[in-house]
Structure 1
Amino acid sequence: MGFLKHIFGSSEPKEEKVLPWQALTNTAQLNEIVKRSETKTQVIFKHSTRCGISSMVMNQFVSMYDIDANMDLYYLDLLSYRDVSNEVGYKFQVMHQSPQLLVIKKGVTVAHASHGAVNEVDLSTFV
């Protein structure tokens, strides 16, 4: 029976990993992110809910993310909050792409990546 479980998977529900996302929904939050970045790393994940690549990258990010990391993690649905997405680019001097990850420390972008490179960013180096 173990062989069949390996092929078809178990019927037992798999516990899903839930990250401590904070929804990024308005431009006023960006000032708070800058302020908080003085003492704690801030991470913004920009996601396009209609893009298969963005969904794949996000799923990989979630599975790899260290839940105990000492950083604030923001989720931006860029289709619902296009004005916020645009302001992120202006404020943090990063050209818009999706999916995209920005790491903010002391008010500036210290790392950013898009597409598959998102999951190559070692967040532990920015804590």
Structure 2
Amino acid sequence: AVAVVGGGLVGVELAAELAHGYPSKPITLVTKSPTILPDFPPRAQKKVHEWLVKRKVTIITSDAIVASSTSTQPGKKDKSEDQEVDIITMKTSKGTEIKADISFDCTGGKFGWGILENSFKTNNDGSRTFK
């Protein structure tokens, strides 16, 4: 299982690539925002959300990871013999527990519009387009 933390462009792109490349791998995307891709127009958010859900990505919105721990358990890596494997257990602020073999922290920065600020206008729906 894979956990992707962060619902912005990087987190969503990573979850999409993983869902496409590993369709049988359980993927969970967690974001503290009420929607994925919060800096994008609602229409784009909806289309991407539907695409991810269609590919069995679990999307958790309006929640944040507040604790994380790793434990070692018996298991298999790939097709090799039995051995110890690490399991990551994360807990969200709403009490949801997420278990994963690997997690990716895709939280953080926002796109730097600064240098291009005067080239864009903000539309009524909050989207930005070239002037």
Indicate the structure with greater helix content: 1
Indicate the structure with greater strand content: 2
TM-score (norm. length: structure 1): 0.27
Higher relative contact order (CA 8 A, sep 6+): 1
TM-score (norm. length: structure 2): 0.26
